[in-house]
Structure 1
Amino acid sequence: MEHVGQAIASERKIAGLSQRQLAARSNYSLSLIKAVEQGREPASPGFVAAVAAALRVDPDRLQGTPYLETLAEDGPLEGLAELRAVLAEGSYVQPLEPPSRPELRASLAAVEAALHNDRTRRAMALLPTLIRQLYGAAAQARTDSERAEAYEILCAAYVAAENACCRLGYSSLTALVLDRLDWAASHIDDTCYAVRSLMKRSRLLMAHGSTEVALTLVDRGLDMVPGDSEGERALRGYGNLRGAIVAARGLRLDLAENYIDHARQIAAPMKHESNLYTTDFGPGNVEVHACAVELEAGDPSKAAKDGAALHLPADMAAPRAGHHWQDNARAWLMSGKPDKALVALNKARAVAPQQTRLHPAVRETLHGIAAAQRRQSDSLLGFAAWLGAPL
């Protein structure tokens, strides 16, 4: 299995850089560059972003995403080609005859439920038709309120599309999706979808190492949340969690913890994980993010122990729970506990198998476990075979 370090070494040589020069350009130590290239250390998302920027290549190129062979094992990815066509049409989307408003909302609910339950392929298959129908609904609206409702549902559909593209490894499409989300959000009075777009764009910028710009978008979005309804509180809390991860990725631990504190205050009175504006915000998600902050910018051993002790709420979205266990696996590996890392990966597999098979960090962690173990165990080989990434 090729790991990110091997891809970095290849791209570095193509660029004519020494390991020392790459270390200087990426602001990481020479010893870490060597360790990642040799497979002795897993490449963290922040490391990948910094090195990709230094090499002037897309992070996906280093990670090898999307994993086409793994995706093909479950058959053709329905909806992807159609979504690409919709995005290529830009503001000239060819509409479809829309069903009734309740049917459109039911279709959106089906997409969001599929994403919540780790059925991303199902969401992708449904999205292009729904988007075209919503353009049709906006064009045929007889009143301003009907038109605004169509654009509101369209905003939510684009939010779902960005999510699906990220999970399936097609992050190169997300900038186009967010441009269309910005356009749709400009047609409604509710600023919350504009906020949602800013937060999602901050994630995209973070993946390219632009953490300072990403933080400005987070703060701009937080300033735009207008009121104190349940949905607005969830959106404000979600924005603080996004800020925490961006700050942690920029190695600004104090700022990241400040965002976590604000999010924890908002979540304190909540009794559930809210899916309003598909934020998945709640007390459980705050503690998941607190562990992620510790992993990115603090003490990996603390992140590993605290993360393993968390009792995730039953209503937490499956991919969110899966991502926590993926992070927990990386934390255990960084703490020198490869066996515990493999246990955490299997927890991620149990709760969110589709996302776990397609997340780049899982393959990096798996390779790190293999490098750390003196003898490859049957459980490790079995996980690798399931992942479609033979060691």
Structure 2
Amino acid sequence: MTGAPYDDGKPLSDAVNSLSILLTEGRYARAEEPGALVQLENDLDAAQRLYRTDRTRQTIEVLPNLIRRIHGAVRELSGDDKAHAYTLLTSAYVLAEWSVRRTGHLMLALPALDLADGYAPSSDDPTYGAFSALARARVLTHFGESEVAGQLIDSAIATADSSTAGMVLAGYSHLAGAINEARQLNYPGAVAHVGAARELSTYTGETDLYMTAFGPLNVEIHAHAVELESGDPNKAAIDGAKLAHDRDAPPTRIAHHWQDNARAWLMAGKTDKALTALNKARVAAPQQTRLHPAVRETLHGIAIAEKRRTETLTGFAAWLGTSV
């Protein structure tokens, strides 16, 4: 319906094809020589940094070989090392799901989720099972299946303990729950989830444990998103425009906020401010901004609302690869 996946201006088809083959192989994946377990862990960390710094295309490029090597480690190792290899494998498939969803290849998200769910019980980190379920809940929210998504989110919250990892899991789950409730227009329920996450963030501070980017900043970003989805879009626009963050804040998280802020300004009837917010998203994370369907929807909404085409509007459309 949205026209996604879009072209980010550089070849993506070969990388997606390699990942598609791997996901189709599923549990029968062809393994490759793994090398040292510590090197696999370092390479996975590097792939996660690519994703977090708005280089999702590059993440997809490196994942197939990395995952095949981790499969090799799972088949060669035993004991605690094997369990840790399963943790890396689960994490890699979760990263694959995030990457294909961000680039609009939603049908690839489903086998990636199934594989993450399948390998999580063999992991040496029991928390990964809950994070895999949360990834599925986010996709279900996207498709509008809020009931099952809510069940998965509530289950993740119930399994969280009082450790730092447990508080991050619970906080991240509450943020997922906030969006899930907001999409159902359950504003009080969404606000309650944000409040619970905000309290947990006072204990965890800013952290990217499990690639969550959880902390006070992400809580406030979700608070603005809840206001946009089920509260007052004008309030979301005005308050969201005041967002302040450190220079080391995850650029993709910041860009997504400005995408939402642009939509809020459009709903508030301020097309000039909506376009300003889109340009802030472009500066923060250009690849993500170019690939996200909501950006095109907002841009076309601005074009419909404006009586004449400005150079700024047509210039942004040209960069995006569309017309207005």
Report the TM-score when normalising by structure 1. Answer: 0.81
Which of the residues 111, 118, 121 maps onto 1:186? 121
SS of the residue 2:32 aligns to: coil
Post-superposition, which runs of at least 4 consecutive aligned residues in structure 1 deviate over 3 A?
none
Distance (whole Å) between structure 1 residues aligned to residue 91 and residue 157 of structure 2: 19
Counterpart residue type for residue 34 of structure 2 = P
In structure 2, what is the equivalent of residue 262 of structure 1? 196
Counterpart residue type for residue 131 of structure 1 = I
Distance (whole Å) between structure 2 residues aligned to residue 296 and residue 188 of structure 1: 36
Distance (whole Å) between structure 1 residues aligned to residue 130 and residue 322 of structure 2: 38
SS of the residue 1:251 aligns to: coil
Distance (whole Å) between structure 2 residues aligned to residue 242 and residue 191 of structure 1: 20
Distance (whole Å) between structure 1 residues aligned to residue 279 and residue 126 of structure 2: 40
In structure 2, what is the equivalent of residue 242 of structure 1? 176
Superposition map of 1:133-152 within 5 A: 133-141=69-77, 143-152=78-87
1:215 equivalenced with 2:153 (yes/no) = no
Counterpart residue type for residue 83 of structure 2 = A
In structure 1, what is the equivalent of residue 240 of structure 2? 307
Distance (whole Å) between structure 1 residues aligned to residue 141 and residue 205 of structure 2: 31
Which of the residues 225, 228, 233 maps onto 2:162? 228
In structure 1, what is the equivalent of residue 266 of structure 2? 333
1:104 equivalenced with 2:48 (yes/no) = no
The structural deviation recorded for 1:232 is: 2.1
Distance (whole Å) between structure 2 residues aligned to residue 184 and residue 316 of structure 1: 31
Counterpart residue type for residue 267 of structure 1 = S
In structure 2, what is the equivalent of residue 320 of structure 1? 253
Counterpart residue type for residue 223 of structure 1 = A
In structure 2, what is the equivalent of residue 383 of structure 1? 316
Conserved in 1, the CA contact under 8 Å of 2:12 and 2:57?
Answer: no
Conserved in 2, the CA contact under 8 Å of 1:294 and 1:303?
Answer: yes
Structure 1: tracts of 5 or more residues without a match: 1-61
The count of corresponding residues between Structure 1 and Structure 2 is 324
The structural deviation recorded for 1:87 is: 1.0
The structural deviation recorded for 1:317 is: 1.4
Distance (whole Å) between structure 2 residues aligned to residue 75 and residue 314 of structure 1: 30
In structure 2, what is the equivalent of residue 293 of structure 1? 226
Counterpart residue type for residue 44 of structure 2 = L
Deviations 1:325-354 (A, max 9, x none): 000000000000000000000000000000
Counterpart residue type for residue 198 of structure 1 = A
In structure 1, what is the equivalent of residue 306 of structure 2? 373
Conserved in 1, the CA contact under 8 Å of 2:299 and 2:317?
Answer: yes
Conserved in 1, the CA contact under 8 Å of 2:90 and 2:116?
Answer: yes
The structural deviation recorded for 1:101 is: 1.2
The structural deviation recorded for 1:112 is: 0.5
Conserved in 2, the CA contact under 8 Å of 1:112 and 1:160?
Answer: yes
The structural deviation recorded for 1:187 is: 0.8
The structural deviation recorded for 1:270 is: 4.1
The structural deviation recorded for 1:314 is: 2.6
The structural deviation recorded for 1:167 is: 1.1
1:277 equivalenced with 2:213 (yes/no) = no
SS of the residue 1:96 aligns to: coil
Root mean square deviation of aligned Cα: 1.1
Conserved in 1, the CA contact under 8 Å of 2:156 and 2:169?
Answer: no
Deviations 1:114-152 (A, max 9, x none): 0110000111011001111011001100x3101011001
1:171 equivalenced with 2:106 (yes/no) = yes
Report the TM-score when normalising by structure 2. Answer: 0.97
Distance (whole Å) between structure 2 residues aligned to residue 364 and residue 234 of structure 1: 33
Distance (whole Å) between structure 2 residues aligned to residue 271 and residue 233 of structure 1: 11
Moved more, 308-317 or 100-109: 308-317
Deviations 1:129-187 (A, max 9, x none): 1111011001100x310101100111111111011101111011111100000011021
Structure 2: tracts of 5 or more residues without a match: none
Superposition map of 1:331-370 within 5 A: 331-370=264-303
1:157 equivalenced with 2:96 (yes/no) = no
The structural deviation recorded for 1:189 is: 4.5
The structural deviation recorded for 1:65 is: 1.0
Q: Which of these two proteins has the greater Rg computed from alpha carbons?
A: 1
Superposition map of 1:28-107 within 5 A: 62-67=1-6, 70-71=7-8, 73-107=9-43
SS of the residue 1:81 aligns to: helix
Counterpart residue type for residue 222 of structure 2 = H
Distance (whole Å) between structure 2 residues aligned to residue 214 and residue 86 of structure 1: 27
